[in-house]
Chain A
Amino acid sequence: MSDLWRRVEGVDTNAPRTHALVIGTSHYIHLPDAPDQPVPNDGRVTLGLGQATTPATSAMLFATWLDKDYHNPDAPIGTIRLLLSPSVDEQTQVDNLVGTDISHTTTTNVKAALRAWKRDCETNRDNVAILYVAGHGIQLTKDDSIVLLEDFADPNENILQCAMDIGSIWRGMNNARAAKTQFYFVDACRIKPDLFKDYANNPVGVTLDEEDSGTITAAPIFFSAAPRSYALGEPGKGTLFCQALQDCLKSYGVDAPDTDNRWLVTTSSLLKRLPVRVSELARKWGEEQDAVPGGLPVDVAFHVLKGPPDVPLRITLNPATASVHASARLWDGFSRRTLFENVRFEPDLTREVPGGNYLLAVTFPQNQQDYRDLEAAPVIAFPPGCEMEIPV
């Protein structure tokens, strides 16, 4: 299969595996370059859309993260299917967006990949299924959304023939053979709802037979729609949702250690942090953007970190005038390992430290009698960050 980007060979095929389907569409064959450009008078309905600029990059970044960094000891990566339709600009910004192992996101290719992914996911109920879809899209409810594929607006097809019905796929994957744990990420460039409303009930081309048997454990859907279709941020970094997700997987969305002392990204930690991170990144660009969770967000582990995440630490002194005289030392109370010492406040002390429980000392020169030394204050560094104000 040309869409099979990665398959881990030489492993026990009966053991649980994670199977991922990753789809990113930036280039749309039948859409104009920009929404305001004319289109041929052949009856095509474009919903006021032009080309997108970042979904293929986002999909590639997520697939690369899965390939290189995803860690789930209970279900290691088995397969990754990757389908991309990159824009011309993206091909110059990101390596390897085009290759013989990457199919375009046409309806035919996506249907085949979807069924192959479903079959793989159904080989073991302890498998994990991951679907990441990026492209022009719209959210209808917290469970239902539609994402357009490369051949959308084909004048010879019904309007939503070349689109994916995420709700139908989600329900179709909820069958008695399905992987019990599933994750859905829908990263959309927003279709204007008022232009779409007349077509909302039309049949969608890419669906699954709906069983909805209610036998799966967890299947959260994280949906986010960008306020515009062109890139916010630096070229090659993908959509804000993609950036926020990467931040969450690295540190921002990591939960404190569990009963086995593992640092995890869980459904619950993504529910709390991913929407916040998306909003934060959007505000940096003067935009409003949310991520809306839906599906069945029961708390399960998505990613197990191999070590503690880096946690931003910010320490301020009270009164602030003490900062110019103070120096700090941070060490691990168990191993006695020093993380830093003789560090000055400028006027705050900001560092990234591995998540953990530390002790902090703050000292002043002997001629600074106005402030008192701090011998050892506990510093608990949990993601997304640790901020402390120390009275001295």
Chain B
Amino acid sequence: MRWEFTQDFVEPQGQNDSGKLIIEFEGYNYQPLPLEIREENLRLLGMARTGEQLRLNPGRYAVRMLLPDGETESAMVTVQADGLARHKMGWQPTTLLARKLKSKYTERKSIAPIPPAPTSPSPMLPEDHETEPGDKAIPEQAPITLPASWCARFLAYDIDQKCWLPAEYPPRLELQEHGIVGDTVASELLVHAQYPGLFAIELRGRAGDQISVALPMAAQSDAMSCRLAIVDDGENMRAEASLLGYGSIELVSDYMQTGALQEAAALMTDAEELLWGKMSNPIAAALGGYALLRLGDLERLHNWPMNLASWFEWLPDGAVIAGELAARRKDHPSAANFMLLAVKRGLPLFSEGYSHLLSRLRYYTLYGRKLLGQGFSADHVEEALDTVQQWSPGVDLSYLSLTLEQLSLSGDDIPVQGPPSSEGWMHFAPENPDVLLPL
């Protein structure tokens, strides 16, 4: 059931006295969002987009919109003959951080804003302190520091040594929002790439749990920054990276995070623009490519994955998408070559990519002889499978960005408790402009 969007909902008998309707939505830089137009009895008439002028017979209509944060908004609107009705859909923007917290707390709780930088040593919160629902700001006169903080270090992929090493020129962190709810410390940051390369952040929570998150950004493209939300409740730490960018880029990222594949795919009308337009964002293009692959919409992918794979040599995901597309088109030798190319480039930035890559390598290990024919090197495929599969015990496929739990990309052993001992680790210091300070 691929969506067909229209602006004309007028029944033939109502041609003469139709009215007009515009549903306005202010979020996401006024990007048009998919919208359902329904009769008053809720029967679906069809799909439209926000911001467009729709033609309808006079009457009352229900409109419903799936928001990128997974919530839905519905409203009743009245269209009058020869009139123009405008309706603004109410939306309270929720940050990625708020959503992460909401997924932990089923009850609504507020996130405290960033406390002001302390001018004197800050008192610690008593251990039994609990913030109640509805608590808003941390009073300015009582600035706090965290009871303890998480640690982090950046890793960069070394394509020559084929391994992840502590980043010599690490990305820069910028704190956007930070707060405490009960024992939970939550922060939203922007990560800015300073130098070309593939980067991941390793995080160690207060309880000693460790995760690695691939960062969907690259200084060698317009996707120079990404968003990172971190929630550490003292027992578990979770982190989620998402795309940052103009236009539909963040929308695609957010929709995919909430399982709204159709909505994400509906925004991929300008996929090729993402490759070589004014705002070239191959990472967003890759994400949209994964949505289309997952929906089996190969027609809309036509050949741009080949360009994504060839023009952005630093991006493993381009080769994965081209490989998966070739496999679906039964061109298995090309598919295998693209998958091997992806492995050479490092790990995909997205869990979708990791999943396709591992599945195809397993498949070709089992059936390569039959599917790939002469010239196929079983050893190469098996070697690539070993390289990729070593991470599978740690990969959490429920995240959009490739996320590993209790497994260090650098290959370092993870201590059971206490601070990390290997090089490059810093601790989170929200009051400091650099955000991270040496241990």
A200 at the interface (CB under 8 A from B): yes
Complexed CA–CA distance, A142 and B400 (Å)? 12
B317 at the interface (CB under 8 A from A): no
Taking a contact as CB atoms under 8 Å apart, the answer to whether A141 and B358 are in contact is: yes
Taking a contact as CB atoms under 8 Å apart, the answer to whether B44 and A258 are in contact is: yes
Which of B42, B236, B394 lies in contact with A357, CB distance below 8 A? B42
Q: How far is the CB of B98 from chain A (nearest CB, A)?
A: 15
Taking a contact as CB atoms under 8 Å apart, the answer to whether B358 and A276 are in contact is: no
Contact with A along B62-97 (1 / 0, CB 8 A): 101010001010111000000000000000000000
Chain B interface (Cβ within 8 Å of chain A)? 1-2, 36, 38, 40-46, 62, 64, 66, 70, 72, 74-76, 103-104, 106, 236, 258-262, 294-296, 328, 330, 351-352, 354-356, 358-359, 362-363, 365, 367, 385, 389-390, 392-394, 396-398
Q: How far is the CB of B101 from chain A (nearest CB, A)?
A: 12
Q: How far is the CB of B47 from chain A (nearest CB, A)?
A: 10
Complexed CA–CA distance, A144 and B62 (Å)? 41
A272-B259, A296-B296 known; A380-B104 Cβ under 8 A: no
Cross-chain pairs A/B with CB under 8 angstroms, 14 sampled:
A141-B362, A141-B397, A144-B358, A201-B389, A258-B44, A259-B43, A259-B44, A261-B41, A280-B106, A283-B104, A333-B40, A334-B41, A378-B75, A378-B76
Q: A196-B393, A378-B76 are in contact. List 7 more A-B contacts (CB 8 A).
A: A193-B392, A193-B393, A210-B363, A257-B42, A272-B70, A296-B295, A299-B2
A193-B393, A357-B40, A380-B42 known; A143-B359 Cβ under 8 A: yes
A32 at the interface (CB under 8 A from B): no
Contact with B along A265-279 (1 / 0, CB 8 A): 010100110011001
Chain A interface (Cβ within 8 Å of chain B)? 139-144, 167, 171, 193-194, 196-197, 200-201, 210, 214, 218, 256-261, 266, 268, 271-272, 275-276, 279-280, 283, 288, 290-294, 296-300, 333-334, 355-357, 378, 380, 382
Contacts of B328 in A (CB 8 A): 214
Contacts of A378 in B (CB 8 A): 75-76
A142-B355, A144-B362 known; A357-B41 Cβ under 8 A: yes
- Nearest neighbor of B332 in chain A, beta-carbon distance: A212
Complexed CA–CA distance, A207 and B36 (Å)? 42
Taking a contact as CB atoms under 8 Å apart, the answer to whether B1 and A300 are in contact is: yes
Contacts of B355 in A (CB 8 A): 141-143, 294
Contacts of A201 in B (CB 8 A): 362, 365, 385, 389
Contacts of B260 in A (CB 8 A): 268, 271-272
Q: How far is the CB of A332 from chain B (nearest CB, A)?
A: 10
Contacts of B396 in A (CB 8 A): 290
Taking a contact as CB atoms under 8 Å apart, the answer to whether B43 and A257 are in contact is: yes
Complexed CA–CA distance, A298 and B2 (Å)? 8
Which of B38, B74, B359, B393 lies in contact with A197, CB distance below 8 A? B393
Q: How far is the CB of A243 from chain B (nearest CB, A)?
A: 16
Which of B36, B72, B262 lies in contact with A299, CB distance below 8 A? B262
Contacts of A140 in B (CB 8 A): 358-359, 362, 392
- Nearest neighbor of B1 in chain A, beta-carbon distance: A299
Complexed CA–CA distance, A210 and B42 (Å)? 43
Complexed CA–CA distance, A183 and B275 (Å)? 35
The 5 closest A-B pairs by CB, nearest first: A193-B393, A290-B398, A141-B355, A142-B355, A378-B76
Taking a contact as CB atoms under 8 Å apart, the answer to whether B295 and A297 are in contact is: yes
Taking a contact as CB atoms under 8 Å apart, the answer to whether A197 and B259 are in contact is: no
Complexed CA–CA distance, A294 and B385 (Å)? 20
Q: How far is the CB of A227 from chain B (nearest CB, A)?
A: 11
- Nearest neighbor of A224 in chain B, beta-carbon distance: B398
Taking a contact as CB atoms under 8 Å apart, the answer to whether A292 and B397 are in contact is: yes
Taking a contact as CB atoms under 8 Å apart, the answer to whether A261 and B42 are in contact is: yes
Contacts of B46 in A (CB 8 A): 259
Contacts of B261 in A (CB 8 A): 268, 271, 297
Q: How far is the CB of A179 from chain B (nearest CB, A)?
A: 16
Complexed CA–CA distance, A283 and B107 (Å)? 12
Which of A266, A279, A280, A356 lies in contact with B42, CB distance below 8 A? A356
Q: How far is the CB of B318 from chain A (nearest CB, A)?
A: 19
- Nearest neighbor of B367 in chain A, beta-carbon distance: A210
Complexed CA–CA distance, A142 and B397 (Å)? 7
Q: How far is the CB of A114 from chain B (nearest CB, A)?
A: 18
Q: How far is the CB of A265 from chain B (nearest CB, A)?
A: 13
- Nearest neighbor of B39 in chain A, beta-carbon distance: A261
Contacts of A268 in B (CB 8 A): 1, 260-262
Interface centre among B64, B394, B398 (most CB of A within 10 A): B398
Complexed CA–CA distance, A266 and B66 (Å)? 15
- Nearest neighbor of B40 in chain A, beta-carbon distance: A357
Contacts of B258 in A (CB 8 A): 272
Q: How far is the CB of B288 from chain A (nearest CB, A)?
A: 16
Complexed CA–CA distance, A24 and B277 (Å)? 52
Q: How far is the CB of A328 from chain B (nearest CB, A)?
A: 18
Which of B351, B356, B363, B392 lies in contact with A200, CB distance below 8 A? B392
